[in-house]
């Protein structure tokens, strides 16, 4: 700042993000920018460092942003979310059956649509926790400068069984979000999107959804192409802000995973060290607990916080992380135990929830 002039700035948005059954307090960084005449003077770097300090004070577990390539890694951010798109030729999508009535979402549909979204995404890593007060279905589509048209699929007894967001574009059919309770409801939404593509004379329709979404399998019935983009540096990126807060918030999901076969009989302490400090997880019969002290953990993992961010979101699997030169691990059955606690996933944030 110089008087009343702002040289550079950003926003830190408080949000809640799922990792499986766990809900994490996250700081979303948006609006990073510096006026052209003040660039290359270190102002953006200062803003980023100050943002990290602020998020630490606020006890955010992670920092999250959607960034340009080859910039935010300087501030400890690593790619942690996938970009996924599914394409179906319009002539093929015409074969989808419409067994549900598809209509524009009304104000009275919002509560039911939100319940549907929460049910469909209850364990989906990377998704934001939405509230009826703040959720605006038409706010944006796949891009910030594109609004969305929300539609719902109505089944028997006037029950809302599906929801879809279409970009408001004149010459293309792009689905930025889709949720459905059944295959039939999902297929009905595809059929509606196909009619939209026909009306726009678009040769294909594009759907943005997680790689493990049911729409991927259903689209295969008509012929489709799935593209999963995992950029080297850019897109959805995360860093650990408060390691203790992160692991504490994860304990509900870690306890759930600890009931799986590889860990069902394993009991012990796991030490996790990054440049942010040392933390201990105790795997017990009643679940996984965060511990402040441990004389000698049964399993020890040392890695940079960027790799820990990728590990907890499931963006990278355990074997991939352990192969990094800066990673160290010690302990019997380390690979099996860590793989059970931190499985490879398909972390994804719906376009409407990005910032």
Number of domains in the chain: 3
End position of a domain, from candidates 206, 229, 252: 229
Predicted pLDDT at 4: 65
Structure tokens at 290: 């965060």
Q: Is residue 348 part of a domain?
A: no
Q: Is the pLDDT of residue 94 over 90?
A: yes
Tens digits of residue pLDDT in 221-238: 999 999 999 999 999 999
d(CA 40, CA 276): 29
d(CA 210, CA 319): 23
Confirm if 27 and 194 have CB atoms less than 8 A apart. Answer: no
Structure tokens at 51: 């943002």
Q: Which of 82-86, 153-157, 257-261 has the lowest mean pLDDT?
A: 257-261
- For residue 163, the number of C-alpha atoms closer than 13 Å in the C-beta half-sphere is 23
Confirm if 249 and 25 have CB atoms less than 8 A apart. Answer: yes
Instruction: Say what the pTM is.
Output: 0.95
Rounded to an integer, the average pLDDT of 212-218 is 97
Predicted pLDDT at 314: 98
Q: Is the pLDDT of residue 263 over 70?
A: yes
Predicted pLDDT at 62: 98
CATH number, domain containing residue 13: 3.40.630.30
Nearest of 261, 260, 255 to residue 284 by alpha carbon: 255
- Indicate the SS3 state at residue 86: strand
Q: Do 220 and 98 share a structural domain? A: yes
CATH number, domain containing residue 282: 3.30.1050.10
Confirm if 72 and 236 have CB atoms less than 8 A apart. Answer: no
Is the alpha carbon torsion for 98, 224, 176, 348 positive or negative? Answer: positive
Q: Is residue 354 part of a domain?
A: no
Average pLDDT, the chain: 96
Q: Do 20 and 142 share a structural domain? A: no
Q: Which of 41-45, 124-128, 242-246 has the lowest mean pLDDT?
A: 41-45
End position of a domain, from candidates 215, 238, 261: 238
Q: Is residue 3 part of a domain?
A: no
Confirm if 355 and 237 have CB atoms less than 8 A apart. Answer: no
Q: Do 162 and 216 share a structural domain? A: yes
Q: Do 52 and 97 share a structural domain? A: no
d(CA 206, CA 85): 7
Rounded to an integer, the average pLDDT of 84-110 is 97
Q: Do 176 and 76 share a structural domain? A: no
Confirm if 229 and 82 have CB atoms less than 8 A apart. Answer: yes
H runs (alpha helix) in the chain: 43-57, 90-93, 110-120, 183-199, 214-219, 243-257, 261-264, 305-313, 318-322, 334-341
pLDDT band at 2 (very low <50, low <70, confident <90, very high): low
Q: Is the pLDDT of residue 197 over 80?
A: yes
Tell me which residue range forms the domain holding 169. Answer: 84-229
Tens digits of residue pLDDT in 69-82: 999 999 999 999 99
Q: Is residue 355 part of a domain?
A: no
End position of a domain, from candidates 200, 229, 258: 229
Rounded to an integer, the average pLDDT of 157-180 is 98
pLDDT band at 292 (very low <50, low <70, confident <90, very high): confident
Q: Given the structure tokens 């270190």, which residue do they identify?
A: 42
Confirm if 60 and 31 have CB atoms less than 8 A apart. Answer: no
Confirm if 79 and 315 have CB atoms less than 8 A apart. Answer: yes
Q: Do 316 and 218 share a structural domain? A: no
Q: Is residue 121 part of a domain?
A: yes
Q: Do 225 and 88 share a structural domain? A: yes
Q: Is the pLDDT of residue 200 over 60?
A: yes
Q: Do 148 and 18 share a structural domain? A: no
Tens digits of residue pLDDT in 298-353: 999 999 999 999 999 999 999 999 999 999 999 999 999 999 999 999 999 999 99
Q: Do 269 and 327 share a structural domain? A: yes
Q: Phi and psi (nearest 5°) for 119?
A: -65, -45
- Look at strands 173-180 and 160-167 and give their pairing: antiparallel
Q: Is residue 122 part of a domain?
A: yes
Q: Do 90 and 223 share a structural domain? A: yes
Tens digits of residue pLDDT in 19-70: 999 999 999 999 999 998 889 899 999 999 999 999 999 999 999 999 999 9
Predicted pLDDT at 3: 56
Q: Do 90 and 63 share a structural domain? A: no
Q: Do 201 and 106 share a structural domain? A: yes
Q: Is residue 117 part of a domain?
A: yes
Q: Is the pLDDT of residue 89 over 70?
A: yes
Q: Is residue 350 part of a domain?
A: no
């Amino acid at each position: 700042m110089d008087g009343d002039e702002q040289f550079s700035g950003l926003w830190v948005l408080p949000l809640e993000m799922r990792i499986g059954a766990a809900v994490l307090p996250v700081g979303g960084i948006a609006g990073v920018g510096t006026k052209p005449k003040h660039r290359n003077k270190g102002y953006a770097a200062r803003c980023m460092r100050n943002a990290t300090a602020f998020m630490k004070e606020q006890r955010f577990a992670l920092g999250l942003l959607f960034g340009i390539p080859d910039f935010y890694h300087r501030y400890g951010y690593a790619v942690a979310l996938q970009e996924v798109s599914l394409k179906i030729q319009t002539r093929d999508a015409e074969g989808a059956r419409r067994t549900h009535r598809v209509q524009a979402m009304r104000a009275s549909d919002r509560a039911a649509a939100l319940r549907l979204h929460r049910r469909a995404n209850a364990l989906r890593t990377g998704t934001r926790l939405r509230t009826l007060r703040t959720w605006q279905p038409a706010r944006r589509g796949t891009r910030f400068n594109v609004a969305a048209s929300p539609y719902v699929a109505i089944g028997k007894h006037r029950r809302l069984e599906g929801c879809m967001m279409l970009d408001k574009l004149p010459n293309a059919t792009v689905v930025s979000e889709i949720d459905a309770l059944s295959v039939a409801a999902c297929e009905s939404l595809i059929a509606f999107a196909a009619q939209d593509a026909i009306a726009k004379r678009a040769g294909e329709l594009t759907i943005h959804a997680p790689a493990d979404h049911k729409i991927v399998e259903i689209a295969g019935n008509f012929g489709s192409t799935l593209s999963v983009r995992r950029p080297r540096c850019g897109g959805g990126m995360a860093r650990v802000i408060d390691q203790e807060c992160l692991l504490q918030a994860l304990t509900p999901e870690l306890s759930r995973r600890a009931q799986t076969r590889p860990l069902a009989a394993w009991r012990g302490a796991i030490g996790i060290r990054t440049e942010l400090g040392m933390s201990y997880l105790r795997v017990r019969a009643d679940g996984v607990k965060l511990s402040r002290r441990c004389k000698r953990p049964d399993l020890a993992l040392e890695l940079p916080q960027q790799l820990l961010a990728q590990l907890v979101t499931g963006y990278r699997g355990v074997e991939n992380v352990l192969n990094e030169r800066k990673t160290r691990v010690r302990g019997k059955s380390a690979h099996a135990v860590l793989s059970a606690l931190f499985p490879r996933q398909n972390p994804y944030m719906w376009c409407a929830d990005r910032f």
